[in-house]
Amino acid sequence: MDLHDSTGTQARFRAYAADLASVLGHADRVRPFEDYCVGLLSAEGRKSVEPLAAVTAPERTAAQHQSLLHLVAQAPWSDQAVMTRVRERVLPSITQNEPVQAWIIDDTGFPKKGHHSVGVARQYCGQLGKQDNCQVAVSLSVATHKGSLPVGYRLYLPKDWADDPGRRKVAGVPDDIRFQTKPEIALQQLRQALSEGVPPAVVLADPAYGNDSNFRSGITQLGLPYALGVQPGTIVWRPGEVPLPPSQWSGRGRPPKRLRRDEIHRPVSVKTLAMELAADDWQTITWREGSNTKLRSRFARWRVRPAHDDARRREPAPEEWLLIEWPEGGTEPDHYWLSTLPDDISIEQLVDLTKLRWRIERDYLELKQEVGLGHYEGRGWRGFHHHASLCIAAYGFLISEKETIPPSGPPQARRGPQFALSNRYRPRVLAAAFPTPHAELDRDTPYSPRAYSGSRNAKMSLLRPDTPAAR
C-alpha cells in the first residue's frame, strides 16, 4: 500500500467511525467522535483533550476543545455499546486465519499525582513495578496468534473509594458500582463476553488472578477452560494422590462428609513438587519467534489435584495440568500454571496457549504508546471510561488496517509525513506542572516493538489533518 496516497484508508476510516458513531445515541456526537479518534491516531506527544483539539481543528482550537471535552467527559453514551461495535467490526480481521484462541485477563496502572482522580489510591502499579499513587483498570482481551483486541475494560474502585459517598458523587461513580476485587471484575467481564456471544476460548491470567481459587472456580462454572499462573506456594496433591476420605462415623451426630488430611498424608506446594522432578521430566519447548530469536525454555507438566479447599469438599477436586517452567541455567523454576485444558493436549500445545498471554502486554503497550490510553487528565468515572473506549476504537482501526500497513514496509513508506504539535505548544492544564518542552510530557517508557517498526510513521500518514477525514 502506498502510504502517500491514503485515500482508501481515509475512506475506510470514515466508514469505520460512522459505524461506531451510530451507537452514540445523538447525531451531534458523530463529528466529535470522529475528530477525537483522528486526534488519537495523529497527534504526537501528550494525547489529552486540548492537544487533540489543537491537532484536529487548529483554526478553532477553543471551540473544538469544548466539543471534545463534552464528548469524553459529559455525554451519556454507552462505553459497552461502542466496544461491542468495535469488536464486531475488528474481530473478523483478527480471525481471518484462525479462530479466537484465548481470552486474556489482566490489569494496567496509570500513575497519578494527587487524590481526586476517580479510583486513585496507593496500590501496585505495573507500569512502575511498585506500589504508588495510581489508577488501575481491569480488562479482557480476545486473542489469536496474530492479533488481539480488548473487549472489556473497567476501573478498579478501591474499597475506600467505593465506601465514600462524597468522593463517589464528585467523581460521578454510578450508583450500581460497588466494591469488587479485581478477580470479581474479571469474572463479570467474562460473563458479559459470553452473554454477547464472543467466541469462547481458554482463559489466561497471571498469578494475581490465578491464585484466587474462587476465580478459578468461577471460570469453570462458566464452562470455560483456563491456564492461569499461580504462586510457588500453591498447594496440590502429588500425582496419583487424593485427600483422605471422611472420618468413620462414631454413631453420634451427623455422619462426617468432608475430606481430610493428616500429618503424614498432606499436599505439597507446586515448588516442592517441581524440585522433586527428575532431570528427564523436563523438555525444551519452543513456542514462538521472538524479536531476535526463537523463544524456548524447559517445561515439565503433571496431572495434579488442587488442594486449596479440601476441607469443604466431599469429593476430591478434578485433576488439572500443572505446568512448570524452569529456564536452562536457572537456580529454580520461575513460572507455574494450573490448567483445565483437555488431558490429551500435547505439551507443545499447552505451552503455546499458556504463553499467548503476551498478547495483552502488547495491547497495553500499543494502547499507551500509540493512542494515549493513559493521557486522559479528567477526574470523573465517565471521562475515564469514555477516553478508554475511544482509545480502543482507534486501536481497533489500526488492527483492522494491519494487513495494509506491513510492519516492515519499504523505506519510503516509513518516511511518510508526521503531524505533531509544535514544541512551543503548551497545554494549559500542564504548563505550570511541567515546564519542559511538550515533547517530553509523555512520561511513559519509550517502546518500539520490532513487530510494529515503522507503524507510528505509517499511522500518522493515514489521517492527515488537512483532509476531510480529519476536518
pLDDT at 437: 30
Distance CA 38, CA 460 (A): 10
Type and span of the H or E element at 381: helix 381-400
pLDDT at 411: 35
Give the bridge partners for 132, in sequence order. 123
Percent of the chain with pLDDT over 70: 78
User: Who's near 297: CB < 8 A, 6+ residues apart?
Assistant: 284, 285, 325, 326, 327, 328
> 240: phi > 0 → left, psi -120 to 50 → alpha, else beta; which?
left
Distance CA 337, CA 228 (A): 5
Amino acid at 99: P
Sorting pLDDT into bands at 50, 70 and 90, what band is 127? confident
Identify the CA nearest to 76 among candidates 113, 24, 37.
24
Identify the CA nearest to 429 among candidates 40, 173, 55, 69.
69
Type and span of the H or E element at 37: helix 30-42
Lowest mean pLDDT among 71-85, 237-251, 302-316, 369-383: 237-251
pTM of the model as a whole? 0.82
Q: What is the pLDDT of residues 335-366, one digit of tens each?
A: 999 999 999 999 999 999 999 999 998 889 99
Identify the CA nearest to 76 among candidates 376, 378, 386, 384.
386
CA within 13 Å, CB half, 329: 2
Give Cα 215 to chain centroid, integer Å.
Answer: 17
Residue 246 has a CB neighbour count (10 Å cut-off) of 13
Contact criterion met (CB below 8 Å) for 370 and 398: yes
Q: The cell 476430591 sits on which residue? A: 316
Identify the CA nearest to 199 among candidates 107, 88, 287.
88
Q: How much is the average pLDDT of 34-38?
A: 94
Pairing of strands 102-111, 130-143: antiparallel
Distance CA 59, CA 293 (A): 49
Cα–Cα separations (whole angstroms), residue 471 to 26, 53, 116, 370: 20, 11, 34, 21
Q: What is the mean pLDDT of the chain?
A: 82
